[in-house]
Amino acid sequence: MPFWFFLSPEDFQNKKVTLKAELVQHLKAARLKTGDNFVLSDGLGRAFYARLDYINSKNAVASLLDEVQEKVEPSLHVTLFAGVSKGEKMDRIIRQSVELGVKKIVPVLTERTVVRLTSEKGGEKAGRWQKIAVSAASQCRRSFIPLVHSPLSFDDMAQALKKEKIAIVPWEEEKEKGLLRLTRQIEKKPGSICIFTGPEGGISPEEMAALNSIEGVYPVSLGPRILRAETAPLAILSIVMYLWGDLGRKIE
C-alpha cells in the first residue's frame, strides 16, 4: 500500500488537486517524486489513489485516480470517553486508540483528574490532540479521521451517556462481571458503543454511583491486575474491536 495522506473534503471537487505547503513537506519526507503514486483521503471515509504530477518547495499538483475499495474502517463505532491523564499519557491514548479503530475521543475531567484545564486551555489541548489523531490515522491508513472533542466535565459526560444504549466502564472495584460475561448478556452485535475509563487514581465511588444510575452503563472487571490509566482504554478497546469489530479477523 502506498503512502497515505489527508486533504480537506472540498479539495476533492476535481481530478487535479493542488497540495499545499504542509502536505508538500510530508511528500518530501516520504521522498516521493513526479510520477509516484500515493493515496489521498478526505478523512470522512473515502480515499483515492493519486499520482504526483508536479512538486516544488511550496506546492504540488496530483491527479486523482481510482477510489480505494479496500475496507479499512470498522463497522463498530466506538466513542472513547477517557479521563484526562498527565504528561504524555493522553497523547499515547489518543494515538493508539486511533490505530485500534476508535471513532471519537472525548477527554473527561473527573474528580481524580490531576490536570486542571480552563476552557481556553482545554481547547488548545484538544487542537493538539486532534493533530495527533490525524497523524495516527495517516500512519495506520484510515479513511476516517476520528474527532477529538474538547474536554468535558464528568457531569456533562454522564448526561451524554444517557443518550447511549451501551456504555462499558472498566472499574477495579467490580468483582463479579467481566467483559466476556457482558458480551453474553448483550444478545445482538452492537453497531456502536461507548467506553469510559478513568484517569490516574481511577473512578471515585461517587462517580461510579452516578454512572450506575444510568440505564445502559455496564461496569466490568478487566481482571485481577490493576491497569495503568493509559493501558486500560487500549486494553478494552482491543477486546471490543476483536469481539464486535474487525481486529484480528478476516475482512469480509
Report the candidate in 152, 134, 151 with the shortest Cα–Cα distance to residue 143. 134
Report the candidate in 38, 3, 1 with the shortest Cα–Cα distance to residue 17. 38
111-142 pLDDT, tens per residue? 999 888 888 988 999 999 999 999 999 999 99
User: Distance between the two ends of the chain, CA-based, in angstroms?
Assistant: 19
Report the candidate in 189, 183, 158 with the shortest Cα–Cα distance to residue 236. 183
Answer whether 4-67 and 77-243 agree in fold: no
pLDDT of 60 over the 70 cut: yes
Give me the amino acid identity at 243.
L
Cβ count within 10 A of residue 119: 9
Q: For domain 4-67, is the CATH number 3.40.1280.30?
A: no
Treating both helix axes as pointing N-terminal to C-terminal, what angle do 89-100 and 232-243 enclose, rounded to 10 degrees? 10
Residues of the chain with pLDDT > 70, as a percent, come to: 98
Q: pLDDT category, 249, cuts 50, 70, 90?
A: low
Q: Which of 13-27, 190-204, 215-229 is the least confident region?
A: 13-27
Q: pLDDT category, 151, cuts 50, 70, 90?
A: very high
State the pLDDT at residue 183: 82
Give me the amino acid identity at 208.
M
Distance CA(8)–CA(44), nearest Å, equals 9
Q: 158, 213 in Cβ contact below 8 A?
A: no
More confident site: 13 or 193? 193
Q: pLDDT category, 168, cuts 50, 70, 90?
A: very high
Q: pLDDT category, 166, cuts 50, 70, 90?
A: very high
Distance CA(241)–CA(250), nearest Å, equals 13
Q: pLDDT category, 56, cuts 50, 70, 90?
A: confident
- Give the gyration radius of the chain's Cα atoms: 20
pLDDT of 251 over the 80 cut: no
φ, ψ (nearest 5 deg) of residue 221: -95, 145
Element at 243 (helix H, strand E): helix 232-243
State the pLDDT at residue 175: 82
Mean pLDDT of 168-191: 86
More confident site: 229 or 87? 229
Q: For domain 77-243, is the CATH number 3.40.1280.10?
A: yes
State the pLDDT at residue 132: 96
Distance CA(221)–CA(231), nearest Å, equals 14
Whether the CA torsion 40, 70, 37, 100 is positive or negative: it is positive
65-116 pLDDT, tens per residue? 999 988 889 999 999 999 999 889 999 999 999 999 999 999 999 999 988 8
Q: pLDDT category, 250, cuts 50, 70, 90?
A: low
State the pLDDT at residue 206: 96
Distance CA(224)–CA(231), nearest Å, equals 14
Average pLDDT along the chain: 91
Q: Locate the domains of the chain by residue range.
A: 4-67, 77-243
Mean pLDDT of 204-217: 95
